[in-house]
Structure 1
């Protein structure tokens, strides 16, 4: 009966169980047993009409706009979680004029590599957004994209990132970070680009921030998927700014620190429980408020993100930390005030993904 129902719904989707039963010559109760026993094959809508589940999960990015990380996440939430879905193929569709800011691009790259690592077939379709494909080529996106990911219409053969590397003052191409042997020149390259578009008085502080975020990738990674960093200058708009991203696909901050919290930092563990916030959100807030929390013997490393935050107010900066199914935004004002906001119930994304927005004063 299973094959009969499957053939029927392929030819005539949207039938109710009573109609299916009449067409296959079986009792409605027997048909319902088959339908509910094979939820990976059949799905019904709110009108109790049955369909075959699609063979692939499609994520369509909205047209004719620049997508921030928030808008990218909104697009993901229109369907099932790509990582958690039982579907074995994920297609990411760029609509006409879909363009991604660097923070969204970093999340897309990490998601695709994680899906490929878990054995899923992945396709990114740029048929309606050729300029976005060209931009991704320029910043080195395809150099770090898993080789199994299908790029439509085609993956560039000759990398523009390699050809024009360091040829744009406002771009530092995506650079892989190997946690076992990190390229210590990456923060210098990021700073070099920063110096060309920002006031001299910010250079030293910016380098400290970039170094700390670079080191954070190694602190919380432990993944065969390479971490990476990139930088982009956005000179137009009401608030010219520099966006730097640091992403890894490993254990994440919570995964690294949770096992040692009660033993090494009982006061912190008590505050987290008392906050009634989700544990990961509360932990990130603790790190940026107080620091000094480390998963290894080097206690100074536990001050890294706290130091980043302490310097952020000089840029009137925003920091976003994305982990698993939530993100925390840390907002700083020029007076040094710190505020937190969070977003919960996001689709799964492994690791830690940090975006630092340096807002420039134009001087």
Structure 2
């Protein structure tokens, strides 16, 4: 009798895109672009992840305009040079991997113009090449950071048009899926959170007003993104701060997105100020569970999902429809292969690597027994 496929390895369809399993590789900033242009690092990094066995690989946060980069090293897709370079990277990967690839469209907002993490991550000084950040309101990310320029009507139009133009560039280079970055204290999140949005116009104040600009961006991108390709949003479900964004706010936002044709929502949290977040295994999964239950939207869970059994349980218990992994695949770029072996699922390997499968390599059990002994 054939054993049922573990929940983590069951396929899922998003519009016209069929994913082989429920594992996504989350966007992970690499801070290795030059003026937004992808380099050799991006080919090896994304190429390696495309061979991991995951159902979907996401690019890192990809800026829609130069001033929307977090750091000078952040990836962009806002001009012809950036488009050509990322297009060449994607074409190179597709010579050896058929894994669907998504792009996370992002604008750093008030967290722009900062150092890369290995240089401290703080704000750039003027003599270090800082540029003027923009935001929902003229409130700095943290004390000592630059005061962002509040986006006026022209600025809002500029940013919205930049999201649209970048989506069109992504389409030209053959991207399968788009995700708007509405989390982690970046621009769209700062409109949603009452802590960072203190506007007095139609884009601030009430929950309805605070949702207005992110929804306008979504509508504008959905209008140019093909009907058979998925469009999702990553959100911070809660700010973890008194007076901040709550899961109730995010569920209301989800209902609005659903009415506009969203295909999935990735549930993260935090990014505004310095909250005390109860980090632990699967600490954001309860947020995903509540969001999914109350909206009915395809939901992706993230946050300290490390073990195969845990990831499978998240799907099996219907806490989420997918999981997204980040640092777990930095640690183990073949995490999906190893998860399949642990759960008893079959996963296709590239033919060049078939000799490393559990069925053909007697050392597989020895290697992973040794790993387990050190867990």
TM-score, normalization by structure 1: 0.27
Larger relative contact order (C-alpha < 8 A, sep ≥ 6)? 2
Report which of the two has the higher share of strand.
Answer: 1
TM-score, normalization by structure 2: 0.27
